[in-house]
Structure 1
Amino acid sequence: MTITTLDWIVIIGYFTAMLLLGFYFSTKNKNTEDYMLGGRNMSSWKVGLSLFATMFSAVSYLSMPGEMIKYGPMIWSSLFALPFIYLVVAYYFIPYIMRIKITSAYELLETKLDIRNRIVAASYFLIMRIVWMAVIIFMVSEKVIVPIMGWPEEKSLLVSIIIGVVTVIYTSFGGFKSVVLSDVVQTAILFFGSIIAIIIIVNKLEGVSNIVPTEWPEQWAEWKFFDPHARLSFLTVVLTTFGWYVCTAGSDQMAIQRYLATANVKTARRMYLNSIVSNALVTILLAVLGFALFAYFKLNPDLLTNGKTVLDDTDALFPTFIVIGLPAGFSGLVLAGLLAASMSSLSSGINSSAMSIINDFILRFRKKAITEKDQMKMAKYISLGIGLVIVLLSLVVGNIQGNLLEITYKTINLLVAPLFVPFFMAMFVKRAKPTATFIGTLSSGVAAVLISFSKEFFGESISFLWIIPGSFIVGVVISFVLSYKKE
């Protein structure tokens, strides 16, 4: 499988555009508030698409069709949680957070609790997002670029370095404004790429009816409303989706940074609605794409390499189709979209992580004041350091067992609920005590590890979808009990 010269022109053009974008916005940032928050006056639709694109990384873009092919449409259950998520985030979290003048999300915890809770939460965030970025680089280099190009596995390191370097350059130079605009472009490409792929497959199979299975495929999991031991069940998917979105919206610097980048609560609510709607539409599109890819390769097994079957590596079917099924130029555009998806998530992660390191650690403990100019220079150096760390870490991510969705939950989502525990206590529990919350937050992290790797610890596997609700319950219960315990 190879891509054409026209495809290469599109891909190189995209890389060049991202670099130019970073250099352009480097002249527009007058102070650290411009650099980190876009001047706190950005439009709702741009920031909304940015939030969607940031959280909906290339991992999600590739794993969803593969998940549908291998395990069935249970993934659509997540859509039932979205209206409830919006109500909680838009009408409680956003007004609560925006009435406090903060730059880092974790400043709130020191105000409501103490410095220990701020530091442990900021540490959880940094660990979670650095691992998240490493998974993204691993997935794009080893699961997409290297196999499509037919390169040896050793080339994945070079691919990782190129992606990391380009992303760090335009992020460190352009700041938050360049991150948001690149996210908008990426979102357009994600939608366009999914729709084009579906249309082409439907056309090749001569009708929509030919992509829908006539009977329940043997490999698809049996539909269950609730089963704690099943890999997926309706209720666990809904609860996990609700938990992930609420936890992320209420505690993740990348989400809170986007509320703070808007002018007021009303704009922030519109921004979050744009993000939720975009997520729902792409989830539906990618699930339909999964149906289409399954039907296409089932009828054309000879197109798979090395004697593989449709089910051997479902995560690789979409990248394979991009090269063999799309016209010249379109392959390059969709590949650029995958690169854009990863680079956009990386740029947001690097920007938010650098922001947290500066505000929660350096400025918080430094006795001497630092000028605006020095802070911006510091952010660029820290961004470079983060880029180096995530490229190196991406080399060991491949040792984790499971498909892309499982790897995501076992690594990226490990600390989602533990990070939210201190925020929940600070916002919802009036008598929350700092020490009790600190212990509960640490306990939640331990619980997440035990659930994620339950088979290794206990010999019996618990569904990875229980990582978020299980660890959250442990953390809140311990924090609550210790807070109300009589001295």
Structure 2
Amino acid sequence: MTHNITWLDWLVIALYCLGLLGMAAALARGQHNREDYYVGGRNLGPWPVGLSIMATQCSTNSILGAPAFVAFAAGGGMVWLQYELAVPLAMIALMLFAMPLFRHRQLVSVYGYLEQRYDLPTRLTLSGLFLFVRAFATAVTVYSIALVIELITGLGFVASVLLLGAFTVVYDVLGGIRGVIYSDVLQLLILVVMLALVLAFLLDAGGGITTLWQSFAPERKNALDFAHHGLGDGQTFAFWPMLFGGLFLYVSYYGCDQSQVQRQLSTRNIDATNNALLINGLLRFPLVLLYCMVGAGIAVYSAQHPDFVAALPVNNDRPEYNLAVPLYMINALPTGLVGLSLVALFAAAMSSLDSVINSLSATTMEDFVLRFSSRTLSPQQELLYSRCITIIWGSITIGMAFFVADIAPTVLEAINKIGSLANGPILAVFVLGMTTHRVRGAHVVAGLFSGIIANAGCWLFLPEVSWLWWNVSGFAVAVLTALLIATLSPRKPSTSTPITTAFAEAKQLLQKQSDINWYWRSALLVVWFTVLLGGLAMLG
């Protein structure tokens, strides 16, 4: 599969990398303390933040895996788009309740809210869980993307890891969250342009949009699966688990995960934060539709050119379908654009890695270093520590990538399942903190681990149940466990900051701090959800 990349292709890649480093170096001059480094001085606009949120979700695994699912997976096809229906609804919950509360508290680490509401052990438990899961997942991501780079360019595995990982760490260390966000915007634009270009080439090869769609397998056109429920029928990607499981997953990911919330805390005010979420809620579906249509084009092209699939590398006696998109890129695109296509693949990887590394650093600095520091650090010392911690986490994740080879194939298949083990229980910890007074830190920690254990039991003993339901079941088990323990425990005086319910407090904050009626704008997302649902119903 290795392509004979020309000097012009390498020049395009080199210019892109140098441009990112130059931008990061320029941004570094405006950093004076850790808040500049981690939340951009809290004065970023909604568009860069909203596009950055989208870029992080559009990882290399997405732009390779989703087209492969549409084109080749058993039971696959356009049903993947069902997953995106939950995004607008999740954005409503975050805009109206979570983000007004978090922004009001001037957080850098989202887990700081848990200490204010519960206690320090709860904060450290959730923060430590984030560090462990994200660092491991990032190492696996570096490993998998390095394999793609190695196959496409012919570089060795070590060189591929260093090319991707070390470069990302360097501009992350220099640019901080501003570097992450602005590079994400650039990377997203390059990715969209290249995917649109690839789709144009596929449409041309397939005889146009009408002919291509007619040639696409009928069973793969159906985008809604109401016939199954995923509760024991072995149908993972049915409508109901993708809608409800996806809703809990996205609320947890966008509202309780440091790698996402950190961006939302970087805006100038609550209106900018909510507008960033609104942008994501409206534009994410068209982006996913774009790479799903690329998958449809790849399916038709493969049917018309049987030698295309035969050219794919073989893994466990099966073609590696995830490499179909890059294989098409390097064979169909002219010199120069091949280099830009590689930049697009690098960009998708970097947009995921840079934010995770920065958020690992922010969580470590806020929840551990500053929390337990025996002396007060100057702003310059805080900035130096922040950059050093970023280097350490970048080195750890790159180093771990060399040691996951034996288990990576299994983990890569299960990476979404691993996230779904904890998403629901983590969300339960935050929701209980926002909506109850009685529940204490020890109660929600017990609920957290009960939910994770219950989901692990589903994984081991109920394989026919869709893993998307774990986001719901883990939440329910965690909530019920925490409430039960709280009910059976003797009442103690609260040591946390007095709170109202999330609904009342968030409503007050929106009234005082916002110039926009977010209830009306939330209605826009409900309308968008309805439009998307109707559109998918007609797609087949």
Q: Secondary structure at the match of 2:218?
A: coil
Task: Render the CA deviation track for 1:262-300: whole Å, top value 9, x for unaligned.
Answer: 121111110111122232111111111110011112211
1:480 aligned onto 2:487: no
Matched, 1:316 2:323: yes
The correspondence for 2:273, drawn from 254, 268, 275, is 268
Question: AA paired with 2:435?
Answer: F
Contact 2:230–2:465 (Cα < 8 Å) also in 1 = no
Superposed, 1:38-187 pairs within 5 Å as: 38-69=40-71, 70=73, 71-142=76-147, 144-150=148-154, 155-187=156-188
Matches of 1:464 and 1:18 in 2, distance apart? 38
Structure 2 residue aligned with 1:36 = 38
Q: CA deviation at 1:336?
A: 0.5
Q: 1:354, 1:383 within 8 Å by CA — same for their partners in 2?
A: yes
Contact 1:210-1:295 within 8 A present in 2 as well: no
Structure 2 gaps, min length 5: 491-540
TM-score by length of 1: 0.92
Contact 1:134–1:397 (CA<8 Å) still a contact in 2?
no
- 1:399 maps to which residue? 407
Task: Tell me if 1:342 matches 2:343.
Answer: no
Q: 1:136, CA displacement in angstroms?
A: 2.2
Alpha-carbon separation, structure 1, partners of 2:363 and 2:165: 20
Instruction: Give the distance between the partners of 1:365 and 1:222, measured in 2 at CA.
Output: 51
Per-residue displacement from partner, 1:89-145 (whole Å, max 9, x unpaired)? 111111121111222111110110111110111011112221232232122111x21
Separation of aligned partners in 1, 2:358 and 2:154: 33
Q: How does 1:359-374 map to 2 (within 5 A)?
A: 359-374=366-381
Cα distance in 2 between the residues matched to 1:194 and 1:57: 13
Alignment partner of 2:302 out of 282, 297, 304: 297
TM-score by length of 2: 0.83
AA aligned opposite 1:399: I
CA–CA distance in 1 between the matches of 2:186 and 2:216? 37
In 2, distance between residues paired with 1:422 and 1:282? 32
In structure 1, what residue type is equivalent to 2:255? G
Cα deviation, residue 234, structure 1: 0.8
Decide whether the 8 Å contact of 1:52 with 1:279 is kept in 2.
Answer: yes
What amino acid is the match of 1:167? T
Please state how far the C-alpha of 1:222 moved relative to its aligned partner: 10
Residues 9 and 337, structure 2, Cα contact 8 Å, conserved in 1: yes
Q: 2:357 aligned with 1:356, yes or no? A: no
Residues 414-453 of structure 1 show CA distances to partners (whole Å, capped at 9, x for unaligned) of 433333222111112232222111111122232343344x
Aligned match of 1:27: 29
Q: Give the whole-Å Cα distance in 1 for the aligned partners of 2:356 and 2:367.
A: 16
CA distance in 2, matches of 1:197, 1:214: 17
Report the number of matched residues: 478
Q: 1:450 to 1:304 in 2, by over 3 A?
A: same
- Closer/same/farther in 2, CA of residues 85 and 459 from structure 1, 3 Å limit: closer
Task: Give 1:199 deviation, angstroms.
Answer: 0.6
Say which of 411, 415, 422 aligns to 2:422: 415
With over 3 angstroms needed to count, the CA separation of the structure-2 counterparts of 1:139 and 1:30, relative to structure 1, is: same
Contact 1:40 1:262 in 2 (8 A): yes
**1:232 aligned counterpart, secondary structure:** coil
Cα shift readout 1:447-466 (whole Å, capped 9, x = no counterpart): 343344x2xxx384543323
Counterpart amino acid of residue 425 in structure 1: L
Distance 1:397 1:426 in 2: 40
- CA deviation map 1:48-97 (0-9, x unaligned): 11111123322222211111111111111123223311211111111121
CA distance in 1, matches of 2:283, 2:217: 30
User: Residue 104 of structure 2 aligns to which amino acid in structure 1?
Assistant: R
Query: 1:434 aligns to what?
Result: 441
- CA shift, 1:44, in A, is 0.5
1:188 equivalent to 2:189? Answer yes
Distance change in 2, residues 1:80/1:338 (3 Å): same
Q: Which residue in the other structure is 2:385 paired with? A: 378
Instruction: Indicate conservation of the 8 Å contact 2:42/2:267, yes or no.
Output: yes
CA-CA distance at 1:175 after TM superposition: 1.0
Distance 1:415 1:392, change over 3 A: farther
| Match of residue 19 from structure 2 | 17
- For the 8 Å contact 2:12–2:340, the answer to whether it is kept is yes
| CA deviation after TM superposition for structure 1 residue 220, in Å | 9.7
How is 1:143-292 mapped onto 2 (pairs within 5 angstroms)? 144-150=148-154, 155-212=156-213, 213=215, 215-217=217-219, 223=225, 224-228=227-231, 229-292=234-297
Amino acid in structure 1 at the alignment position of 2:46: S
SS in 2 for 1:430: coil
SS across alignment from 2:319: coil
Matched residue SS, 1:102: coil
Cα 1:78–1:126 shift into 2, 3 Å = same
Indicate if the aligned counterparts of 2:230 and 2:466 stay in contact, CA closer than 8 A: no
Q: Which residue of 2 aligns with 1:469?
A: 472
Deviation string 1:171-230 (CA, Å, 9 cap, x unpaired) is 111111111110110110121111111111111122113332454359999943412232
Query: 2: distance between equivalents of 1:95 and 1:104?
Result: 15
Q: Which moved more, 1:51-60 or 1:235-244?
A: 51-60
Q: Percent identity?
A: 26
- Give CA-to-partner distance per residue, 1:330-375, whole Å, 9 cap, x none: 2211210111121122111111110110110111112211222122
Contact 2:230 2:464 in 1 (8 A): no
Residue 168 (structure 1) shift: 1.0
Paired position in structure 1 for 2:514: none
C-alpha separation in 1, matches of 2:27 and 2:288: 32
